[in-house]
């Protein structure tokens, strides 16, 4: 209970609206934020890693931030998952606290300093998953209303079977929460995964127009996807402005 109260207090301190529904560029930040989204097993993490290496090899200022990686809540999340203690609301608040901490300490300072910040999942992960878990959509969006929108969002659209196959190629079984087993959708974890992730996919598709996602066919080969991603980034971001030997671009 005390931990949840701390989460709420932390989020309350972060909820300063500096322009909800505006990108970092629209808010006058010199850096740029690029986010990747997709189902578990869609290959988004592989793609953002490859993009990061490509940008680094060009000598650009790049920083990477990953969903659910803040030291502030990492241990609590891990313990809660192992003991299966997390309700949908608790899950949502913990992830929002994680995001707010990284947003304040990493994302905003580095975008302000003229970096290209790459995010492996952003607020849209919460909009999809938390809503499917039963949290009111307006409430979920409300607790993230301090966050600026990414300048580019890549959505890696993979079929459910492709996503499932990729996960099982890497490890022998599905994780409890990624399969949505906490929702009691099915006693079979594979069927539960299909139902749970299928509902998340519907949420993503609904958001794709609203938030102007760049949709990538994630059923393609890794190299083909990465070529498209690099072409789009090069076309939409003036990369030479972010070289280490250049002063940060002015807003």
Domain membership of residue 87 (yes or no) is yes
Distance from C-alpha of 161 to C-alpha of 151, rounded to nearest angstrom: 30
Domain membership of residue 180 (yes or no) is yes
- Over residues 185-237, the pLDDT tens digits come to 999 999 999 999 999 999 999 999 999 999 999 999 999 999 999 999 999 99
User: How many angstroms separate the most distant Cα atoms in the chain?
Assistant: 57
Beta carbons within 10 angstroms of residue 217's beta carbon:
12
Here the contacts of 70-78 (C-beta below 8 Å, separation 24 or greater) are: 70/97, 70/98, 70/99, 70/101, 70/102, 72/10, 72/97, 72/98, 72/101, 73/7, 73/97, 73/98, 73/101, 74/98, 76/3
Domain membership of residue 251 (yes or no) is no
pLDDT at residue 113 tops 60: yes
Q: Tell me the residue range of the domain where 205 lies.
A: 28-234
- Over residues 40-59, the pLDDT tens digits come to 999 999 999 999 999 999 99
Task: Name the band, by pLDDT with cuts 50, 70 and 90, for residue 71.
Answer: confident
Domain membership of residue 175 (yes or no) is yes
**36: CATH:** 3.40.50.300
Please give the structure tokens belonging to residue 110. Answer: 């580095």
pTM comes to 0.88
Domain membership of residue 1 (yes or no) is no
Q: Which residue has the higher pLDDT, 87 or 207?
A: 207
Number of independent structural domains in the chain:
1
Domain membership of residue 16 (yes or no) is no
């Amino acid at each position: 209970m005390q931990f949840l109260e701390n989460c709420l207090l932390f989020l309350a301190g972060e909820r300063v609206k500096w322009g909800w529904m505006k990108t970092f560029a629209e808010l006058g930040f010199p850096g740029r934020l690029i986010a990747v989204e997709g189902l578990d097993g869609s290959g988004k993490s592989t793609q953002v890693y490859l993009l990061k290496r490509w940008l680094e090899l060009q000598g650009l200022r790049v920083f990477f931030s990953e969903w659910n990686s803040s030291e502030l809540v990492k241990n609590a999340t891990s313990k809660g998952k192992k003991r299966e203690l997390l309700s949908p609301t608790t899950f949502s608040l913990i992830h929002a606290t994680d995001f707010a901490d990284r947003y304040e300490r990493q994302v905003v300072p580095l975008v302000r300093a003229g970096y290209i910040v790459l995010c492996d999942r952003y607020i849209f992960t919460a909009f999809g998953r938390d809503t499917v878990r039963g949290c009111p959509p307006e409430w979920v969006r409300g607790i993230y209303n301090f966050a600026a929108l990414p300048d580019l969002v890549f959505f890696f659209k993979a079929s459910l079977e492709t996503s499932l196959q990729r996960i099982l190629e890497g490890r022998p079984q599905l994780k409890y929460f990624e399969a949505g087993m906490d929702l009691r959708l099915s006693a079979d974890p594979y069927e539960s995964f299909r139902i749970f992730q299928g509902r998340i996919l519907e949420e993503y598709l609904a958001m794709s127009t609203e938030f102007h996602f760049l949709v990538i066919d994630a059923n393609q080969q890794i190299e083909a996807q990465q070529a498209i991603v690099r072409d789009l980034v090069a076309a939409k971001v003036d990369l030479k402005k972010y070289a280490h030997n250049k002063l940060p671009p002015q807003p």
